[in-house]
Amino acid sequence: MRLSHSTRQQLTLPAPGADAQAASEALQQHIIQQIDANAGWISFARYMELALYAPDLGYYSGGAAKLGKDGDFTTAPEMSALFGATLAQLAASLLAQTSAQVMEFGAGTGRLAFDFLSECQAAGIAVERYFIVELSGELRARQEDLLKNFPQVQWLQQMPEAFCGVVLGNEVLDAMPVHLVVKTERGWREVGVSLRNQAEPERTAAESTIKQGPELIFSDREMDAQLESQLLAQIPDADQLPLGYMTELHPVAAGFMRSLAAMLKKGIELSGKGALAILIDYGFPAHEYYLDQRTQGTLMCHYRHHAHPDPFYLPGLQDITAHVDFTSMALAAQAGGLELLAYVSQAGFLLEAGIGELLMRTSASDPMAYLPKANALQKLISPAEMGELFKVLVVGAGVELDARLLRHDRSHRL
| CA gap 364, 77 in Å, rounded | 22
3-class DSSP state of 298: coil
* Mean pLDDT, contiguous 10-residue spans, the chain (414 residues): 46 82 95 96 98 92 59 81 97 92 95 98 96 89 96 96 98 96 97 77 45 80 95 91 97 97 98 97 96 95 89 94 97 97 97 96 95 96 95 97 92 94
Chain centre to alpha carbon of residue 287 = 20
* pLDDT for res 206: 44
Phi and psi angles of residue 131, each rounded to the nearest 5 degrees, phi first: -90, 140
Q: CA-CA distances (angstroms) from residue 195 to 38, 74, 184, 314?
A: 12, 33, 21, 16
Cβ 183 vs Cβ 241: under 8 Å: yes
Nearest to 252 by CA among 172, 194, 311: 172
Q: Which CATH class is domain 76-175+251-286+323-413?
A: alpha beta
Q: Do residues 373 and 80 lie in contact, with contact meaning Cβ atoms separated by under 8 Å?
A: yes
pLDDT of residue 86: 97
The pTM score is 0.91
For residues 91 and 71, what is the distance between their CA atoms, to the nearest angstrom?
Answer: 29
Where are the domains positioned within the chain? 19-64+180-249+307-317, 76-175+251-286+323-413
CA-wise closest residue to 322 among 193, 175, 212: 175
Contacts 24+ apart (CB under 8 A), 308-311: 308/11, 308/13, 309/3, 309/7, 310/3, 310/7, 310/8, 310/11, 311/44, 311/47, 311/48, 311/51
Predicted pLDDT of residue 208: 39
Q: Are strands 187-195 and 216-222 parallel, antiparallel or unpaired?
A: antiparallel
Per-residue model confidence (pLDDT) at position 238: 94
pLDDT at 197: 63
Q: Are 218 and 192 in contact (CB under 8 A)?
A: yes
Q: What's the confidence (pLDDT) of residue 14?
A: 81
pLDDT, residue 11, reads: 64
